[in-house]
Amino acid sequence: MTDAQTITQPHAASKSMDDIVALSKRRGFIYPASEIYGGINGFWDFGPLGALLKNNVRDAWWRAMVLCPPIGPDGHPLQIVGLDSAIIQNPRTWEASGHVGGFNDPMMDDKETKARYRADHIWVYFPKQPASVRFGIAVEAGSFEEAEQRFDKLYQTAKWQKIVRKAAKVFNFNPDDHYWLGMKRPGNITEEEARNAFGPAGEYPGTWEARCGTELSKEDLAITRSPDADEFGTLTEPRMFNLMFETYIGAIRDEDAKAYLRPETAQGIFLNYKNVLDTTRVKVPFGIAQVGKAFRNEVTPRNFIFRSREFEQMEMEWFCPPDQSQKWYEFWKDQRMKWWRSLGVAPGNLRFREHDQEELAHYSNACVDVEYQYPFTAPGFGELEGIAHRGDFDLTQHMQHSGAKLEYFDQQRNQRYLPHVIEPASGLTRGVLVLLCEAFTPDPSRPSKVFMKFHPAMAPVKAGIFPLVNKDGMPEIGEKLYLELRKKYAVEYDAKQSIGKRYARMDEAGAPYCFTIDGDTLKDNTVTVRHRDTCQQQRINIDRVTAFLTENIDRGD
C-alpha cells in the first residue's frame, strides 16, 4: 500500500462535487428530504454522521463566541452572551427590518417548461455579430466557468445543433462565431474577474443595455431561450419575488393572522437587545450570539446544501460605540478568518471579498465575505460568511416602529447613543458543506478509494473499536473499551466483516483513529492504533487509549 503520508490534500478544483454528494448519501451525512415521496426541492435531512458533524461545527462556534470568547484589543475577554429566539416573531418585525418591502429577488418564468429561475443566475449566449442580431441561449450558472461548462456540454448535443442551425438561418449568422454575455454579475464574481472572462472587447455583466452596447427591447429579451425549453421566446421578463415563507397564526387565515418564518436569526437578537441589557451585567461593547434555523423561499436552490430553503445560521451581533465601529469591524474580520482555519480549512481555499458600494445591503455601511473555493465554484470562490457593519440601522428601525426606547446610556462616557453593530453571520449549513468538501480526499491505494480528512475535533466519529475476531474474549475487551470511551467521545464499536472493510467504513466516516483488539491484547494488554491519514499503526497500552484521544482529538494543528 502507498504510504498515505505522501498523499497531500487535493485542491478544491480537483474534487468532484458529484462524488462528494454520493458519499454524503452513502455514508449517512446528508439525505434528500422526503426522499421516499420523490423529495422536495431545497430541503435536506442530516443523517447520523451529518448530525454529528453539524453539531461539532455548532458547538465549536458556540464555544468560540459565548463560552470562551476572544481576547479583545485591550487584553481582556470579550462579553458575549447567548440567545435562542422564536422562529416566528410579530410580523411588524419584518416591516421594520425591511424584509417585507425589500427582501426580493428578480425572477423569470419559463412559459414552456413552467420552470422558474433567478434572473441573476441566467447567463445568455450571443453570436459575435452586430447588436442587431437577436439570438440567445440562457444557461443557469453561478460562475463563468460553470456557465461555460454547461454550454460546452449542451453544444455537443444534436438538439442544440438543430436549434443553432435553425436560428442561424433566421438571423443570418455563423454559429461558430460566438462569445459569452451575462445578465448580471453575481456577488461571488469580482468586476476584474468578469472583465477577464469576457476579454478586452467584452462588456462585464450588467444591465441588458450594457451587454451589446445598444438598447435591447422587450422583444430582444423575449427571444432568449431558457435552459430546458425547446422554443425561443418562452422566458418572462424579470419580476420581483419575496423570499419569506408566509404562515398564519390562529384558526382564521386572513391578512390579520399572517406571519412569517424568519429569514434570518439576527432580528430576534435586535428585539432582545434591551432585555439582555436589563437582565445581565453586560455593558457596551458586548455581543449577543444565536444559532438557529432560518427559511428563505429561494427561487432556484442549487449546489447541494449551498443554497437551500431551510438552513441554519450562526450569527453574532456586536454592539459598540459608533466611534469604535471601524476598529471592531477589522477585529471581527481577523477573528472569523482565524476561526475557519482552526477547523482545518486550508488557507489557500479561503479569501476575503469586500462588497462593492452598489452591492451593499440597504442597512450596511461596509461588508466583507469570507469565501471558500467550493468544487462547483473553482477556480472561483463562493460565500461562506459575511462580516457586516450594520451601523445603527436595525436599532433605529425597531425604535421607530415599536416606540420602545433603545438608546444606551454610557456611564463611562456620560452620554446616550444607539450602538453601532458589527455582525459576523455564518452559515452553519454551509460550514458543514465546506468541511465535507475540504475533508474529501481521494486515495486510490485504499479499499474505499477515498477518506474524509476531518480535523480530529470536527470528525463526527472520533474512533472505531474493533475486536480482530468475534471470539476468544476479544469482543468483551472491545465492548468494555467502547463503554469507557463513549462517556467522552463519539465512538463506534464494530465486530462485523474483515478488518479491512471496517477500516474502509471508518475512512469514509472520517474517524481519525481505530483501535483493534487482537491476540496480543490478551497477552500484554496493548491494542493497535491505526491512524486515518497515514494508515500507519502503533501499539499502545489499552489503559492509555482515553489519554491518547484526549491528547490528539483537540490538538490545534
pTM metric for this prediction: 0.81
C-alpha cell at position 475: 469482543
Domains 7-100+254-438 and 461-553 share a fold: no
Q: How far is CA 476 from CA 468, 519, 526, 544, in A?
A: 12, 13, 15, 18
Name the strand (E) or helix (H) holding 195. Answer: helix 191-198
Name the 3-class secondary structure at 481: helix
Q: What is the pLDDT of residue 124?
A: 55
Q: What is the pLDDT of residue 128?
A: 41
Q: Which CATH class is domain 461-553?
A: alpha beta
- Spans of the chain, pLDDT less than 50: 1-8, 125-135, 178-187, 194-195, 197-222, 556-557
Q: What is the pLDDT of residue 239?
A: 74
* Nearest partner of 172 among 202, 137, 136, 135, judged by Cα: 135
Name the 3-class secondary structure at 37: helix
Q: What is the pLDDT of residue 140?
A: 59
What pairing do the DSSP bridges indicate for beta strands 286-295 and 80-83? parallel
* Nearest partner of 274 among 398, 185, 366, judged by Cα: 398
Q: Domain residues of the chain, as ranges?
A: 7-100+254-438, 104-241, 461-553
Q: What is the pLDDT of residue 63?
A: 98
Q: In what order do the strands lie in the sheet with 420-427?
A: 80-83, 286-295, 310-320, 420-427, 382-391, 366-372, 350-354
How far is residue 28's CA from residue 25's CA, in Å, rounded to a whole number? 5
Burial of 87: CB neighbours in 10 Å, binned 0-12, 13-18, 19+: middle
How far is residue 353's CA from residue 400's CA, in Å, rounded to a whole number? 33
Q: End-to-end CA distance of the chain, in Å? A: 26
CATH code linked to domain 7-100+254-438: 3.30.930.10
Q: What is the pLDDT of residue 161?
A: 63
How far is residue 212's CA from residue 407's CA, in Å, rounded to a whole number? 51
* Pair 289, 82: CB distance under 8 Å: yes
How do residues 329-387 score in pLDDT, each as one tens digit? 999 999 999 999 999 999 999 999 998 776 777 677 899 999 999 998 888 899 999 99
